Chain A
Amino acid sequence: MRKGLFYGLLFTSPAILGFIIFTLGPMIASLVLSLTDYNVFKAQTAFVGIDNYTKLFSGEDELFYKSLGVTFYFVVLRVPAVIIVSFVIALLLNLNVKGRSIFRTIIYLPSIVPAVASAMIWMWLLNPDLGLINTILGWLHLPTGNWLYSEGSVIPSVVITTLWGIGGTVIIFLAGLSGIPKQYYESIDVDGGGWYSKLRHITIPMVTPTIFFNTIMTIIGSFQVFNEAYILTQGGPNNKSLFYVFYLWRTGFRDTEMGYASALAWVLFVIILIFTFFVFKTSKSWVHYEGGERA
């Protein structure tokens, strides 16, 4: 087995080195940096201990709480929206409709569009004066909106634009749905239940592992939204879309406060860990595994 160890390490060495160089090393460096006042334009860098963190949490940095609030709001709005909408679409696609594969392709297509291009399309569609959305609302005599340009509607508008890219989540749901054995539904037919009892007693319990997986991935992704913030809104209006990672980028790369930005990054890491841990914990009560095995 000595030979195995040598070859095993040889084959995996690029990956292991990559992990050390591009993940572990920077992680440690980032933690150390977060304890300094490192700024590209400052001659001297001092070790400041937990000062950056105190500054963050003491309320001295209003924008920290603001960006945290914006991001939480976005996550709370987006995660259920993504899960529910993609689950419903997957249910529809799972019916034996004609041209299923064409629909599947159409729904997945937007998620491959480069973020900049997709942002451009949505800025145009949501344009208050010239956009298609307000035009249609106008025809229907419904109230139109300022979408990305109003403090109240900017976050919901960004959520809508990201819903365009849920194709990946839909496909994962479809995979989960196709794994449900047909016999289970037959037993409901025998008992005289309709589509609702099928959904309630078979489909949903059987796809809980998929719901769980998609929820975790969507939460992790939503906390880290950046492209939309940078391209669509630049944090505006009045910092109402100051997404956390956008604020972090601005602090580190525009204001060159890299020590402070590293502290921001670590706070985000801890928040994501807590959320993921929390979902994992509660999952024991609602995620159903076929073999009785639990996450």
Chain B
Amino acid sequence: MFIVPFLWLLRSSLMNLSQIFTMPPEWIPKPFQWDNFHRALTVLPFGTFFTNTLIIVAGVLIGTVLTSSIAAFGFSRIQWKGRDAAFGILMSSMMLPAAVTLIPSFLGWKMLGFYDTFYPLIVPAYFGGGIFNIFLLRQFYLTIPRDFDEAAFVDGATYFQIYRSIILPLSRSAIIVVALFSFLGSWNDFMGPLIYLKSDSLFTLALGLQMFQGSYSAQWDLLMAASAAVVLPCVIVFLVGQRYFLEGITLTGLKG
């Protein structure tokens, strides 16, 4: 049930149109139309879409890992007045539907002259990297014994040194989880690019695929090949980081 749609996608992406529509359906392409991929990815500038997506994904990934891990440190390893209240307020923002901030954010970016650029899609990641990720890392940091910090303090370490040389190395797996989710989130994001990007030359793969669907709606062979090409990197990343993914969801329960 879960795997059949994948197989259907894969087999259709490697068939010619007449074989796709053969009744009853066949599962093995004969011959394999590897050319579909080439054709699908060249009728539209998928190379450009791919580069655009990579730029955004890389920008978001770095920002998210950097600022969420720093913020989580401040919310777990440093004692300060008002810390838990501040964290609680941030956490409550998870209930807020994205639609509420959508229009003012759009207008704000537009006023700054950043409509139809990557900035609105990348910059927010450098401001905390998402409360989910802070929450996840904070949970993890809280499990690291306090004695480590205290011993380092006695040796004259600063908070930043403790973060760099004790907490970061110990929380590698949690950071990988955050990085993986951030990759997927931004690779799969559809609404963000839809709202902020106008020029075709700045389109991401998700937008490109949607555009493709609009213009080549009858060309199922090419549509399926293009879809398969967009899905493939996700699947590879997932299979490589599988263990971390499953751990991460269990830890936070962040998927609805």
Interface centre among B79, B104, B108 (most CB of A within 10 A): B104
Complexed CA–CA distance, A110 and B195 (Å):
25
Q: Is the CB of B79 within 8 A of A1?
A: yes
**B154 close to A (CB within 8 Å):** no
Q: A102: shortest Cβ distance to chain B, in Å? A: 10
Complexed CA–CA distance, A88 and B248 (Å):
22
**A235 close to B (CB within 8 Å):** no
Please pick, from B3, B71, B209, the residue contacting A11 in the complex, using a CB distance under 8 A. Answer: B71
Point out the residues of chain A lying under 8 angstroms from B12, CB to CB.
124
Partner-contacting stretch, out of A163-171, A186-194, A282-290: A163-171
Q: Is the CB of B206 within 8 A of A116?
A: yes
Partner-contacting stretch, out of B30-38, B168-176, B230-238: B230-238
Count contacts between A and B, CB distance < 8 Å.
253
**B45 close to A (CB within 8 Å):** no
Q: Is the CB of A121 within 8 A of B5?
A: yes
**A67 close to B (CB within 8 Å):** no
Using known A-B contacts A14-B71, A30-B101, determine if residue A19 contacts B89 with beta carbons closer than 8 Å.
yes
**B65 close to A (CB within 8 Å):** no
Q: A84: shortest Cβ distance to chain B, in Å? A: 15
Please pick, from A30, A227, A230, the residue contacting B100 in the complex, using a CB distance under 8 A. Answer: A30
Please pick, from A10, A117, A258, the residue contacting B103 in the complex, using a CB distance under 8 A. Answer: A258
**B256 close to A (CB within 8 Å):** yes
User: Residue of A at shortest CB range from B21?
Assistant: A130
Q: Is the CB of B255 within 8 A of A29?
A: no
Q: Is the CB of A276 within 8 A of B95?
A: yes
- Number of A residues near B (Cβ < 8 Å) is 84
Using known A-B contacts A114-B187, A114-B206, determine if residue A164 contacts B231 with beta carbons closer than 8 Å.
no
Point out the residues of chain A lying under 8 angstroms from B101, CB to CB.
22-23, 26-27, 30
Point out the residues of chain B lying under 8 angstroms from A168, CB to CB.
249, 254-256
Q: Is the CB of B103 within 8 A of A262?
A: yes
Complexed CA–CA distance, A108 and B104 (Å):
35
Partner-contacting stretch, out of A47-55, A56-64, A151-159, A265-273: A265-273
Please pick, from B4, B68, B74, B231, the residue contacting A7 in the complex, using a CB distance under 8 A. Answer: B74
**B148 close to A (CB within 8 Å):** no
Q: Is the CB of A132 within 8 A of B8?
A: yes
Q: Is the CB of A104 within 8 A of B246?
A: yes
Q: Is the CB of B95 within 8 A of A273?
A: yes
User: Residue of A at shortest CB range from B128?
Assistant: A15
Q: Is the CB of B2 within 8 A of A106?
A: yes
Q: Is the CB of A139 within 8 A of B24?
A: yes
1/0 per position for A16-28, CB-CB distance to B under 8 A? Answer: 1111011101110
B42-100 interface with A by 8 A CB criterion: 67-68, 70-71, 73-75, 78-81, 83, 86, 89-90, 93, 95-100
Using known A-B contacts A8-B78, A21-B127, A109-B6, determine if residue A171 contacts B249 with beta carbons closer than 8 Å.
yes
Which residues of A does B touch, CB under 8 Å? 1, 4-5, 7-12, 14-19, 21-23, 25-27, 29-30, 33, 104-117, 120-122, 124-125, 130, 132, 135, 139, 164, 167-169, 171-172, 174-175, 213-214, 217-218, 220-224, 226-227, 230-231, 245, 248-249, 252-253, 258, 261-262, 264-266, 268-269, 272-273, 276
Q: A30-B101, A113-B235, A169-B256 are in contact. List 18 more A-B contacts (CB 8 A).
A: A1-B80, A4-B79, A12-B70, A15-B134, A17-B127, A22-B127, A23-B93, A27-B101, A29-B107, A121-B8, A124-B9, A132-B25, A168-B249, A217-B253, A230-B194, A245-B99, A249-B102, A272-B95
Can you list 7 A-B pairs with a CB-CB distance of less than 8 A?
A: A12-B70, A110-B6, A114-B190, A164-B2, A226-B191, A268-B97, A269-B99
The 7 nearest A-B residue pairs measured at CB? A168-B255, A18-B127, A11-B74, A8-B80, A221-B256, A15-B128, A29-B104
